[in-house]
Structure 1
């Protein structure tokens, strides 16, 4: 996701990836088959992991068709396998859209098998044996196998949602950007269906992000090593720890509290996360020690609210009820931030879907800011 490239690069380095390079909405790295398994299970801010198999120059649709037929596709799929194509095109050489490029690529691969084996493999858009990704940037084309399958934001724990729930990858990215690692209390005061809480608890407990997934695309590959996969999974599971601080969420809607508890139960985290039917604007800090507050408040695009009054109430509640906390929240309503009445100590540009957002930080000191500086 835009704005999380460096976060993902850091995750990869910590996991043991080699030659990590940051791009725009992408990160490249080297690793062996076992690392690919580990990356799919562990990475919190990756959307999918692609394994490049061929790169070449390409100048138009017919050239793409011919170049795709130079790949020895039987190395990656059988004639009776099912497959699907995803394409991204950013090139003046191509007047057609990504959907047409997908169809052209599909024809090239199917015709390759038909010419060589007199039989075409079938397309299955929902549950293919092999998913292929074609990325065209200017006159360069990269062809990859999608090792993940469904987007990695589909963790497998969320069965209930509210209006416009936050994406799991973005939620994890926010927690990592905040610096929270389980080193204190954590509060989401407008928790909705509990996604931020679950991602924070998984980080605090060192639980692999995608441990609840039912399957990955690489499990259908011919070279899938089941013993290696479960060996790596066992090693990751042994590194799980219990949090030493409180992780809790509030929501004023009983339905949201119920949905959050269901999702937390699905993630097997009910012992570590508390969710309470509380209106944040009527609350005060009731935990001791360092506390991180992180939330995704409603903004005009999602819910009809009086943003000026709503954001003023956020600022007032933080000032009077939450001293000694570090506060983060994401919003697409930059104008509304002026009504919080607090000075941000950090602003990070992010995307939430198609919305340009700011992820902002506030330091809520015990006493005044001047008193805090005087004691340092």
Structure 2
């Protein structure tokens, strides 16, 4: 088993990541530049963006910090070995040679996620089976028994990526997708993914010092992410397990220090700073349940009414993901609703800024207000747009007084 370089001068790197300290983070399509900014803030270096991913270097404290605190990335992988691979027999042979007891015990469960493209091995499922067989056979030969596979909640995740006949086998350091914060106990319809909601909050540049409202909050994902942001609560605060604990050189001392430093920055949420609304009582119940997990159910003001009947949201940061078809139905009804939404913003949200995620971007023009930006963000199969609309009480281009 490899030992940490911080504890012995005789450390001999075995796996690729131990030589390079280079890792790979998965992220939603369109969030790569934003994710690169966040990784840099958390201590990553030499960051390079790729499609739905980020390569980066990190020392041990920064690696733990990134996985514990990042709100935008979904997984982090540490490459174990990379090799040219044209056949499943060779894949099995190389995988079988790995000392899998470096990462797990025989009584622990594991799962394999595979992706193949442009390669002689063209079936991801079969590639996964080859890697699973190699892991199982390693333990069977060594201990006389075999570990079990758990595709949903394994103790350890392994990743296999084969592209253009080049394979990389990795240990997943996140321990399941990081979008699963732990607060979502109830939901209605198709909720926005947590990492996408966190991106909306980040792009709003809301600092947690001025009022914020989601007038169509659904099950409250945007509100929960806003609360975590305002409280400086790490995204992984409610998680009780991380994949980096299965690294052979895992340091409980460093992890305890990193976690303590992050947790010490958590602050209370002022009552009434954050507000939410939805016309569906079930949605409000779900939102309250989820906020309660974060200890914020009594601090966030929740109301039940149609967004068009909200009396006033002046001087507020508005973030929302309005219905795009499922709940409203016909196209003409949707266009009318979005026009009414634009009228509401114009008349009752003076000196406010709205950040609206439109899953159906064709409806943006129905709002009838000028946008400051449109950012492409894919969420749940939707090629949507996040738009920013600033609503001024007076014209932002007021004429200058005449010179004398």
Counterparts in 2 of 1:210 and 1:80: CA distance versus 1, 3 Å: closer
**Does the aligned pair in 2 maintain the 1:204–1:243 contact within 8 Å?**
yes
Q: Is the 8 A contact 1:284 1:322 kept in 2?
A: no
Q: What runs of 5+ residues in structure 1 fail to find an aligned partner?
A: none
How far 1:172 sits from its partner (Å)? 0.4
Partner secondary structure for residue 75 of structure 2:
coil
| Deviation, structure 1 residue 3 | 1.0
Choose which of 127, 131, 134 in structure 2 pairs with 1:108: 134
1:164–1:302 contact (8 Å) kept in structure 2: no
Counterpart residue number, 1:358: 385
- The equivalent of 2:259 in structure 1 is 233
Distance (whole Å) between structure 1 residues aligned to residue 186 and residue 136 of structure 2? 39
User: 1:293 aligned to 299, 318, 327, which one?
Assistant: 318
Question: How far off its partner does 1:110 sit?
Answer: 2.3
Residues 180, 292 of structure 1: 8 Å contact kept: yes
Alpha-carbon shift at residue 224 of structure 1 (Å): 4.2
Partner of 2:242: 216
Residue 294 (structure 1) shift: 0.9
Q: Does 1:158 align with 2:188?
A: no
Pair 1:176 & 2:206 matched: no
SS of the residue corresponding to residue 212 of structure 1 reads coil
Quick one: structure 1 residues 263 and 120, their matched pair in 2 at CA, closer, same or farther if it must change by over 3 Å? closer
Match of 1:17 among 19, 24, 44: 44
Q: Per-residue CA shift, 1:195-246, capped at 9, x if unaligned?
A: 1011112112211112012322334555544443333222111112345682
- Say if 2:360 and 2:382, in contact at 8 Å, map to a contact too: no
SS in 2 for 1:252: coil
Moved more, 305-314 or 87-96: 87-96
Does residue 257 of the first structure (1) align with residue 284 of the second (2)?
yes
**In structure 1, how many angstroms separate the alpha carbons of the residues matched to 2:347 and 2:148?**
63
Residue 77 of structure 1 contacts residue 222 of structure 1 at CA under 8 Å; is this kept in 2?
Answer: no
Shift of 1:313: 0.7
Cα root mean square deviation, aligned = 2.3
**Could you tell me the TM-score, scaled by structure 2's length?**
0.85
The DSSP-based 3-state class of the residue aligned with 1:151 is coil
Within the candidate set 273, 287, 291, 1:246 is matched to: 273
Aligned to 1:131: 157
Q: Return 195-204 or 123-132, whichever deviates more.
A: 123-132
The 10-residue stretch of structure 1 (311-320 or 128-137) with the greater mean CA deviation from structure 2: 128-137
Matched, 1:278 2:305: yes
User: Which ranges in structure 2 are unaligned for 5 or more consecutive residues?
Assistant: 1-27
Q: Distance in 1 between matches of 2:269 and 2:140?
A: 57
Q: Give the whole-Å Cα distance in 2 for the aligned partners of 1:56 and 1:301.
A: 46
**Offset of residue 43 of structure 1:** 0.6
Q: Does 1:201 align with 2:227?
A: yes
Distance 1:94 1:151 in 2: 26
